Structure formats: C-alpha cells, structure tokens
Amino acid sequence: MLSKESKIKVLENFYGLDYVFFGKGLKTVNNCCPVVKEEYLSIKGALMSVYIEMLKLMKYSPSPLEEKVDSAALLSNARTSAKEARIAAQKVVATEAARNDIKAELKESLKENKDQDIPSLVEAKIREKAFRLAVDNMLVAKALNEADDLKEMNEWSGKIVEDSYKILRDSLCETAMLILDDDELD
C-alpha cells in the first residue's frame, strides 16, 4: 500500500508527463486526432500503473508533507518537476555517450528504410532520446533517491516491472511525438 505522500507524488507525475512532452496540459494541446490523444492517455495510465508497482517494490517513502496539497499546488509541482527533468535530459543528450546511442539508433533505422529524410530522422531520434531521459529522470531517478530498499528491483519481479516500464515509456514517447507532429501541422 502506498502512503498518502506517495499517491500525491504519483498524481503529480501523471500530470507532469504532459508538461515533459508538451510544456502544457494535454487538454490545451490542439490536436486534430482525438484517437491519438486517447491512445496517449491509455498508455500513460498503463505506465503509471507499472510505476506504482515499481514504487511498491522499491519501498518508496517520500518525506512527509508539511502542508495540504491542493490542485493548484499539485499542478505547479508537476510543472516544476517536468522542467527540471527536461533540463537534466538536455544535459545528458549533449554527452558523447548519448550521441553514440543516437547514432546507433539512426543506423538501425536507416538499415530498415534507406529512403528516410535524414535531417528529420536525426531530429526525431534526438527528441525521442530526450523524452525518454526526461521521463526516466522525473519518475525513476527521484524515486530511487527516496526509496528505502532497492533489493527487490534486482529480483525477477523487479526485472519484469522494469522491462514493462521501458516498453510503456517508449510507447508513450512515440505517441506524444505523434501528437506534437499533429499539433505542429495545425
């Protein structure tokens, strides 16, 4: 069972994901395709469900709240967490290791289809990598810092949860990029 503070953090992160991808709440994104938004919300819900399991496995225990958290404070905290996660992701994407990782992804994509627009593909791969890093930073890095026991994350069940998290995270990033591409066309 998650503590009250943990549940608030999960809700904050639920909203924070929108700010990581769009810089605003999903409701204010002018997307011409509601089906893609529904898919995004479904994947985000599944990701948060796996995230809750991850928090339980690592015995997540954030510091107790000193004051009440209303919806305005929750959204403010979500924006702040997303902004910090995006800044941290930008720093990591600029590293040599991240560049090498992106180059490997580009080579793999070009093997599958040589007729791609390379500048667009490079931009998409960099953006995708930055999104994955930002999501990981916001959800996992902070939780790891406040976890009591990570032992179970190294067990079989922890590996399954981690693999599920990565699959859903990648799917959420791809869907968010579809929404952004659609939004930019409007």
* Interval 30-78: pLDDT, tens: 766 889 999 999 999 999 999 999 999 999 988 887 778 889 999 999 9
Mean pLDDT, the chain, integer: 90
Tokens 């930055």 found at: 130
Could you tell me which residue, 147 or 184, shows the higher pLDDT? 147
Q: Give helix then strand counts, H and E, for the chain.
A: 7, 0
User: Does pLDDT of 17 surpass 90?
Assistant: yes
Residues of the chain with pLDDT > 70, as a percent, come to: 97
How long, in residues, is the chain?
186
Predicted confidence at residue 57, as pLDDT, reads 94
Which structural domain range is residue 50 located in? 4-185
- Whose CA is closest to 139, among 59, 78, 66? 78
Residue type at 139? L
CA pair distance 180, 53, nearest whole angstrom: 29
Total structural domains within the chain: 1
Both tokens assigned to 69: 């958290």
CA pair distance 172, 139, nearest whole angstrom: 13
Could you tell me which residue, 181 or 78, shows the higher pLDDT? 78
> For the purposes of burial, counting CB atoms within 10 Å of the CB of 179, is it exposed (0-12), middle (13-18) or buried (19 or more)?
buried
Cβ-based neighbours of 135, under 8 Å, separated by 6 or more: 17, 20, 85, 169, 172, 173
Predicted confidence at residue 38, as pLDDT, reads 93
User: Does pLDDT of 156 surpass 90?
Assistant: yes
User: Does pLDDT of 2 surpass 80?
Assistant: yes
CA pair distance 110, 96, nearest whole angstrom: 21
Predicted confidence at residue 183, as pLDDT, reads 53
CA distances from residue 100 to 33, 47, 84, 89 in whole angstroms, order as listed: 34, 27, 24, 15
User: Does pLDDT of 114 surpass 70?
Assistant: yes
User: What number is the average pLDDT over the span 120-139?
Assistant: 92
User: What torsion, rounded to 10 degrees, do the Cα atoms 180, 181, 183, 186 define?
Assistant: 170
Q: Could you report the per-residue pLDDT of 158-176, keeping only the tens digit for each?
A: 999 999 999 999 999 999 9
Could you tell me which residue, 50 or 142, shows the higher pLDDT? 50
